[in-house]
Structure 1
Amino acid sequence: MKIGTDGVLLGGWVHIPENIESILDIGTGTGLLAMQMAQRSNAELIDALEIEDAAYEQAVENFEDSAWADRLFCYHASLQDFVEEIDDQYDLIICNPPYYTDTFKELNPKRALARHTHELNFQILLKSTSKLLKSNGQCAFIIPFKEEDVFLKLAETFQLNPIRITRVRGNISSPLKRSLIQFSKQLKNKEINELAIEVARHQYTEDYKELVKDFYLEM
């Protein structure tokens, strides 16, 4: 399965709090984000969640073949079932949502939710994340920039406060495409900035190269 830029971006961008013990990757796909967290942190418990059969099998295989096999575990379940069955809470939760569509239109929050016909929508994601997150925990997501306002409004209803927002452009002259957002249950100062990935085709900006340098053999 193809490794996408979004996952690598989130894995390199997210701030990992000190003395972190547990991490959850929701919708892990092939396990990329969970393994990035294992590479970047000393967390003893890194759980991943994947509902799709083939992706789950790939993630398990990748975990077993990695240098961090003893710290990685993948659950084969939906987020809804996972929340009902698991009592544990996590220090950090990350998610590169696989279910949004780029045809999403600017709508009020209620109508926006109605447009999500997939099994997992933003409301389910944020409600579940809030329940699974420790009181001093943090969570981070990458979403389409045009859905940022709706996402932030929904997060507020579940007591998730944005502490970092980075808006991403494909290149220095293109429109904003993605939003990287990190939340805390605690009220903190909010940091907002922008990132461009390329100067020209396959010519990456220094900021992007610095962010993802630990995950590529060549840049």
Structure 2
Amino acid sequence: MSEKAFQFKEFSIEQDRCAMKIGTDGVLLGAWASLEQQPDSILDIGTGTGLIALMLAQRSPALLIDALEIDEDAYEQAVENFEQSNWGDRLFCYHAAFDEFVEEMQDEEDKYELIISNPPFYEPPLTPPMSENSISSARQNARFYDALPFSELIGGVSKLLHPQGEFNTIIPHKEETGFIALASKFGLFPKQITRVRGTRSSEIKRSLLNFTFNKTSIEESELIIEISRHNYTDAYKKLVKDFYLKL
């Protein structure tokens, strides 16, 4: 394991060849994503280092956890991270663009019971890195919407998701209303929304969203990450305690 590897409680992540380093968004989504339906098949769109897929492998006994990554270096690193984990036999990474993957897979009879994505966008990080070995510069964490427009993401999800499946994502809060309206055009409706603040006094920065094909009452909540610098709230610690070494 290299010095730049990020060590979690049950797995480690090599990330020296990935433009998208480990950040708060990915860990939040991987820990928050609903497993209430006990999915047997999971797809992580834009896996990067493989972080979210690995978190779900730790949390879920799902036999099939597929990941998708278009960048060649990130793809190769995700594969290595999968192979070095305890769940390598359940994790598989595809090297392809999402539109190509959808074209190839949309006619398959078996659909994914959980689809998850930390989609590309550019937004300042919620909190500073938890480790000197993680993100050293905000520029390294830049993510560009054009790489996977929300319309392409939601449209593809609607073709790959099981009729009773769930789609989980994290987006900038300012995009929430438009994202939900767009999802409704593809027959996907919010079931759960958690809005995230860095501190109690800061504005809402992120929205964690859980969609299904069934219209239902929406469970809404708010999550505050820090009380003060590196002094984390009980709610945040409870959410991520199974992953971070220091929590």
Q: Is TM > 0.5 for Structure 1 vs Structure 2? A: yes
* Residue pairs, 1:78-89, within 5 angstroms: 78-86=97-105, 87=108, 88-89=110-111
Which one-letter code corresponds to 1:75 in the other structure?
A: Y
How many residues align? The count is 206
Q: Deviations over 1:49-77 (max 9, x none)?
A: 00011110110000000000000000000
Inter-partner Cα distance in structure 2 for 1:132 and 1:193: 28
RMSD of Structure 2 on Structure 1 (CA): 1.3
Question: SS state of the match for residue 135, structure 1?
Answer: strand
Q: Deviations over 1:141-176 (max 9, x none)?
A: 000001111101100000101000000001111000
Inter-partner Cα distance in structure 2 for 1:153 and 1:189: 16
* Residue pairs, 1:124-143, within 5 angstroms: 124-143=152-171
**Runs of 4+ residues over 6 Å off in structure 1:** none
Which one-letter code corresponds to 2:41 in the other structure?
A: S
Inter-partner Cα distance in structure 2 for 1:54 and 1:40: 26
Deviates more, 1:146-155 or 1:15-24: 15-24
Per-residue deviation at 1:102? 3.4
Q: Percent identity?
A: 57
Inter-partner Cα distance in structure 2 for 1:188 and 1:117: 29
Q: Deviations over 1:87-111 (max 9, x none)?
A: 241000000012x1339xxxxxxxx
Gaps of 5+ in 1: 104-115
Inter-partner Cα distance in structure 2 for 1:70 and 1:137: 23
* Residue pairs, 1:1-219, within 5 angstroms: 1=15, 2-86=21-105, 87=108, 88-98=110-120, 100-102=121-123, 118-219=146-247
Structure with the largest fraction of helix: 1
